[in-house]
Amino acid sequence: MNTALAIAEQRIRGFSKQRSATQHERMFFSGMAAALVLATLVGFAPSYYFKAHFEAPPPLTPMLHLHGLVMSAWMVLLIAQTSLVAAGRTDIHRRLGVVGVVLAVAIIILGPAVAITRARQGLFCVPCGPPLAALAVPLATAVVFPVLFVAAMWLRKRVDAHKRLLLIATIEFVTAAVGRIPAIHLPGLPSGTMYAATDLFLVAIAVYDLVALKRLHPATLAGGSLLVGSQLAREAIKNSPTWLAFAAWVTT
């Protein structure tokens, strides 16, 4: 009898511990989604979201409006999806996955198109540096984001990997928002500060893994390595004659 009670108590404690860990996990990923949305709002407030309150010429073109709408929809969907998982509505979460695929395709098409058009006009991300050099950021995103997104969808039944890869994919294009925050470009800061600030989101995922799992999750390690490796590559090539010649070619 005592043995049976002990086993029952142990199972109850194990269930309670597992439930608590699940709640913490849902809170973390919901919080990460909210933080990424906040970074996007701050970065694009002067040039898009609250443009009317800032002196931010030139006027927005229809393509920029479409691009902004698609990117905003992705961030809203990210909040919705993490909230649905936290609420236990994974059935709706799965149905909305189709919307995510459509938005991802639109992002992959519109991102480079907008960047090339703006660079051609000499207007692309002026705070980030000369347009042709800065073009390395979005054109690399056009490669890194699809890889991370396709991997996330391929592993959608591996929920732990799926959600980490989607967060890292979002971190990739949130780089553009972080790069527009004025504090990132204060005098004396190195050119890679934009990436270092963006990678704080990746560090948060890694810290969570180490606390919750006692190790880095393979998806965090693989996705994070791709993200950071691409950032180092962008910094290495952006001012090279080869890259500048290529950027000049695609913008002519």
Does residue 16 fall inside a structural domain? Answer: no
Phi-psi region of 214 (alpha: psi -120 to 50; beta: other; left: phi over 0): left
- Taking each helix axis as running N to C, give the angle between helix 2-44 and helix 193-212, from 0 to 180 degrees, rounded to the nearest 10: 170
Q: Is residue 17 part of a domain?
A: no
pLDDT bracket for residue 54 (50, 70, 90) = confident
The angle at the Cα of 75, spanning 70 to 81, to the nearest 5 degrees, equals 120
Task: Label residue 37 by pLDDT band (50, 70, 90).
Answer: very high
Query: pLDDT tens, 68-125?
Result: 999 999 999 999 998 888 888 888 888 888 999 999 999 999 999 988 888 887 666 5
Q: Is 67 a domain residue?
A: yes
Decide if 203 is inside a domain.
Answer: yes
Confidence (pLDDT) at 45: 86
Contact 77, 96 (CB under 8 A): yes
In tens, the pLDDT along 133-180 reads: 888 888 999 999 999 999 999 998 899 999 999 999 999 989 989 988
Report the pLDDT averaged over residues 21-37: 87
Q: How many CB atoms lie within 10 A of CB 102?
A: 11
Can you give the pLDDT at residue 181? Answer: 85
Q: How many structural domains are present in the chain?
A: 1
Residue 52: what residue type?
A
15 within some domain:
no
Question: Which range, 5-14, 38-47, 86-95, 225-234, has the best average confidence (pLDDT)?
Answer: 225-234
- Which of left, alpha, beta for 210 (phi over 0: left; psi -120 to 50: alpha)? alpha
Give yes or no for residue 245 having a pLDDT over 90.
Answer: yes
Q: How many residues does the chain have?
A: 252
Pick the closest to residue 104 from 31, 156, 39 (CA basis): 156
Residue 8 falls inside a structural domain: no
Q: Residue 172, Cα to own-chain centre: how many angstroms? A: 4
Tokens of 104: 């991802």
132 phi/psi in degrees, rounded to 5: -65, -40
Q: Are 111 and 142 in contact (CB under 8 A)?
A: yes
Q: How many CA atoms lie within 13 A of 7 on its CB side?
A: 4
Show Cβ contacts of residue 120 under 8 Å, excluding neighbours closer than 6 positions.
Answer: 251, 252
Per-residue model confidence (pLDDT) at position 3: 61
Identify which of 170, 178, 185 has the alpha carbon closest to the alpha carbon of residue 82.
170
Residue 6 maps to a domain = no
First and final C-alpha spacing in the chain: 83
Residue span of the structural domain in which 213 resides: 27-250
Average pLDDT over residues 15-37: 78
Spacing of C-alpha 237 from chain mean position: 22
77 membership: H or E segment, kind and range: helix 62-86
- Give residue 56's pLDDT band: very low, low, confident or very high (50, 70, 90): low
Task: Supply the pLDDT for residue 179.
Answer: 85
Report which residue type is found at 219.
A
Q: Is 107 among the domain residues?
A: yes
Q: For the residues 186-190, what does the mean pLDDT come to?
A: 72
| pLDDT score for 15 | 45
